[in-house]
Amino acid sequence: MNTMRTVLLMTLLTLVLVGAGGALGGQGGALFALIMAGVMNLGSYWFSDKIVIKMYRGQEVQSGPLYEVVTELVQQNGLTMPKVYTLPQPTPNAFATGRNPQHAVVAATEGIMNILSREELKGVMAHELAHVQNRDILIGSIAATIAGAISYMAHIAQWSMIFGGGNDEDDNPVAMIALMILGPIAAMLVQMAISRSREYGADATGAKFCGNPHSLASALRKLEMSNKQMPMQRVNEATAHMFIVSPLSASKLAGLFSTHPPMEERIRRLEGMQ
């Protein structure tokens, strides 16, 4: 179900791109913006593990409780062993990155060790391994590329209107204004929906990997409470969607536009699993 939803959302995002390209400059405009966004996001996708780990000052580990839990999950489920990192932040959280299972990284903050039991930690890392196995980093990079192309075209339309462009008979000023205002909003909403869908998918797959959905549900409840009480410091908003729970301090209104699904719904789905 989550896979079908992702396909439909990706199709919708592509249709938004085609519509934006038609409003701005036909197929040529859409292709140019897509290439520009693709070049930027390809570099981010290819080197995402190194960039994010350096950003959060991660240290690779090859022993200890975190490494042992990941090794156990990998052996139990026949997965490829990723690199394992710890992050010095006291706020409990975790994420996965890397372009494929052969170049993957799973990471957890030092704070996560202080509040989770071993079974709960196993549930969290199973969730992160599920992101790797489900190719969520690739899906997210493609969605970001298309959304970025739409945003580029919106900026081009804006500057074109400011400097007197769009005066040709074939140009539609109403379509240009709609692109400027509605294009980035539509892209953001669809990209957000894709991210939420992949989180639900990682919860479901992670529950199967660890064999106990209730341990993951319990861990999510603890992580959500801890991140509200002690939000992570100096978080790059571009990487916030990667964490298992949102590291950003947000109001209920801002939560409506979060890349993470409502925690209550995530826990309800997990507790409903056998």
Residue-level pLDDT at 25:
61
Contact partners, residue 94, CB within 8 Å, separation at least 6: 106, 107, 108, 109, 112, 124, 125, 127, 128, 243, 244
> Who wins on pLDDT, 45 or 120?
120
At residue 81, the 3 state secondary structure works out as: coil
b/e sequence 86-104, b meaning 16+ C-beta within 10 Å: bbebebbbbbbbbbeeebb
Q: Is 237 annotated as belonging to a binding site?
A: no
- Could you tell me the strand order of the sheet in which 94-98 lies? 59-60, 83-87, 104-109, 94-98
Contact partners, residue 100, CB within 8 Å, separation at least 6: 135, 138
Query: Concatenated DSSP letters for 31-47?
Result: HHHHHHHHHHHHHHHHT
Residues listed for the chain: 274
- Digit-coded pLDDT (tens) for 166-190: 444 445 666 667 667 776 777 777 7
Cross-strand bridge partners of residue 83: 105
pLDDT at 229 over 80: yes
Distance CA(9)–CA(13), nearest Å, equals 6
Contact 161, 176 (CB under 8 A): yes
Contact 155, 188 (CB under 8 A): no
Q: Is 199 annotated as belonging to a binding site?
A: yes
Instruction: Give the C-alpha distances (Å, rounded to integers) separating 155 from 161, 174, 191, 234.
Output: 10, 15, 18, 28
**Measured CA angle at 188 (ends 87, 230), to 5 deg:** 30
pTM over 0.95? The answer is no
Residue-level pLDDT at 26:
61
- pLDDT tier for residue 17 given thresholds of 50, 70 and 90: low
Active site residues: 128
pLDDT at 7 over 70: no
Dihedral angle sign, alpha carbons of residues 141, 224, 68, 215: negative
Contact partners, residue 160, CB within 8 Å, separation at least 6: 24, 166, 176
What are 101's two structure tokens?
């299972």
- Digit-coded pLDDT (tens) for 230-250: 888 878 776 788 899 988 765
- Digit-coded pLDDT (tens) for 86-126: 999 999 999 998 878 898 999 999 999 999 999 999 999 99
Distance CA(8)–CA(22), nearest Å, equals 21
